[in-house]
Amino acid sequence: MNAVPQTQPGKLFQLVFAIIMGFLMVGIVTFVTTASNFGFSHNFLTTWGKTYLIGYVAAVPAIYMLAPIARRITAQLLN
pTM of the model: 0.75
Q: Identify whether 23 is part of a domain.
A: yes
- Conformation bin of residue 39: beta by default, left when phi > 0, alpha when psi is -120 to 50: left
* Average pLDDT rounded to a whole number, residues 49-56: 96
The number of folded domains in the chain is 1
Residue 59: domain span:
11-78
**Torsion angles phi and psi, residue 5, rounded to 5:** -60, 145
Q: Identify whether 44 is part of a domain.
A: yes
Which pLDDT does position 42 carry in this prediction?
Answer: 94
Q: List the single range of 2-6, 20-24, 39-43, 47-51 with lowest mean pLDDT.
A: 2-6
d(CA 71, CA 74): 5
60-79 tens-digit pLDDT: 999 999 999 999 999 999 98
Q: Mean pLDDT of all residues in the chain?
A: 90
Q: In 3D, which of 72, 76, 70 has the Cα closest to residue 18?
A: 70
